[in-house]
Amino acid sequence: METLSQRERDVLQSLIQIHIAMAVPVSSQAICRRHLFEVSPATVRNTMMDLEKKGFLHQPHTSAGREPTDKGYRYYVDSLMKREALTSEEKQLLRDKFHSHLKDRDTEYVFNEISRTIAQLSHQLGIVLFPRFEEGILQKLELVPLDRKRVLVIITVTSGLIKTITVEINRPSKFSNGKNKSFISRKKLKEACQLLNERLSGLSIKEIRQSIQRRLGYSPQRAPELFDFFIEEANTIFRFNSPRELFLEGRTNIMLQPEFEDHHRLAQLMEFLDKRESVISLLNRQARKQGVVVSIGSENALSQMQTCSLVTSTYNIGDLWGTVGMIGPTRMRYSKYISLLEYTAKLMNELLTEYYLA
């Protein structure tokens, strides 16, 4: 970590604060007016030149003020910024939203509303990624016959979260040799279910998907056709990384930011968001660390994100974890949004865990 003099730190901090608020290059005069009365603009200018040489600032053109670079923001976030706590109104709003939606029957809907709330409070794009269900440990698997050929698979993992999947057991080729219409008898289903639980519970969903063939290989006498089916379809049944696990809300917020008045830049970002898979993989890369993680501009590697920052936090439901976050231009109120996401994740931990594990 490069060291900066106190003056440099003061100037950098002041400049960033002003820039975040004003969204224009900041002049030496503006800094003096706002924060550093005691020194003259000329002095500030000298410091700004130093900071530019060190790569913390840059000048859009000769006669303009200066803006922070990604490196500048990074230093600010790591060493200068003071966290801004949420106001009690904001906290209350979050709690209220949580409570009113938590009782809703649709887990996915709850997550969608959380991302909406983040968007509302930050005026940026709110993101929630559903808990990584594939890493959950299978607690119980249930099979409920729906009709002649469809079965509802209910998967419960140890965090208490469940997913239901409808599967169609109607492969004309291998199983039922055509005659046996109502292929699935309740009895067979029950037997198969019991055996599946015996062999698979305690494993993670991902492990199951990868190793099911081996684990069910020496299938028993009874209901071998159901076992075959599960082996064959494991890649479908035990896969949970669909683009529908991602909730993005508040696209309008982001396009109202001055940096996205540039139509082309906006289009690039929107295209990126439209392809949800790439957003998910970005989040997966980001969320290796615990706590709140900030990726500023070029730190994101992805070209479409070069002018954006991504702030995320990890939440937990039992042993499952998911990601909650926001995207905005690099010029954003890190001091506030970090608190926002920290608090949101905390609330999710508390309330969702209570709800699902109690």
- Among a copy of itself, DNA, none, partner that 34 touches (CB below 5 to 8 angstroms by kind): none
Residue 40 phi/psi, 5-degree rounding, is -90, 160
- Among DNA, a copy of itself, none, partner that 45 touches (CB below 5 to 8 angstroms by kind): DNA
Task: Please identify, among the stretches 263-271, 301-309, 318-326, 346-354, the one whose residues bind a copy of itself according to the rule CB under 8 A.
Answer: 263-271
Q: 320: exposed, middle or buried (C-beta count within 10 Å: 0-12, 13-18, 19+)?
A: buried
Spatial separation of the C-alpha atoms in residues 156 and 163, rounded to whole Å: 7
Site string for a copy of itself, 117-156 (x = CB under 8 A): -------------------------x-x-xx-xx-x-x-x
Task: Please identify, among the stretches 106-114, 278-286, 300-308, 346-354, the one whose residues bind a copy of itself according to the rule CB under 8 A.
Answer: 106-114
- Among a copy of itself, DNA, none, partner that 85 touches (CB below 5 to 8 angstroms by kind): none
Positions 27 through 66 that interact with a copy of itself (CB under 8 A): none
Q: Which of 9, 39, 228, 299 binds DNA (CB under 7 A)?
A: 39
- Among a copy of itself, DNA, none, partner that 168 touches (CB below 5 to 8 angstroms by kind): a copy of itself
User: For a copy of itself, which is the closer residue by CB, 49 or 154?
Assistant: 154
- The overall longest dimension of the chain from CA atoms, in Å, is 93
Hey, CA dihedral for 114, 115, 119, 124, is it positive or negative?
positive
CB of 43 vs DNA, minimal distance in Å: 3
Positions 56 through 75 that interact with DNA (CB under 7 A): 59, 61-66
CB of 343 vs a copy of itself, minimal distance in Å: 23
Measure the N-to-C terminal CA separation of the chain; round to a whole number of Å. Answer: 45
What amino acid is encoded at 265 in this protein? R
Q: Which of 142, 41, 1, 156 is nearest to 15 (CA)?
A: 41
User: For a copy of itself, which is the closer residue by CB, 48 or 212?
Assistant: 212
Spatial separation of the C-alpha atoms in residues 329 and 270, rounded to whole Å: 13
Question: b or e along 288-318 (b: 16 or more beta carbons within 10 Å of the residue's beta carbon)?
Answer: eeeebbbbbbbbbebebbebbbbbbbbbbbb
Spatial separation of the C-alpha atoms in residues 241 and 29, rounded to whole Å: 52
Q: Which residues bind a copy of itself (CB under 8 A)?
A: 103-109, 112, 142, 144, 146-147, 149-150, 152, 154, 156, 160, 162, 164-168, 236-237, 242-244, 249-252, 255-256, 261, 263, 266-267, 270-271, 273-274, 355, 358
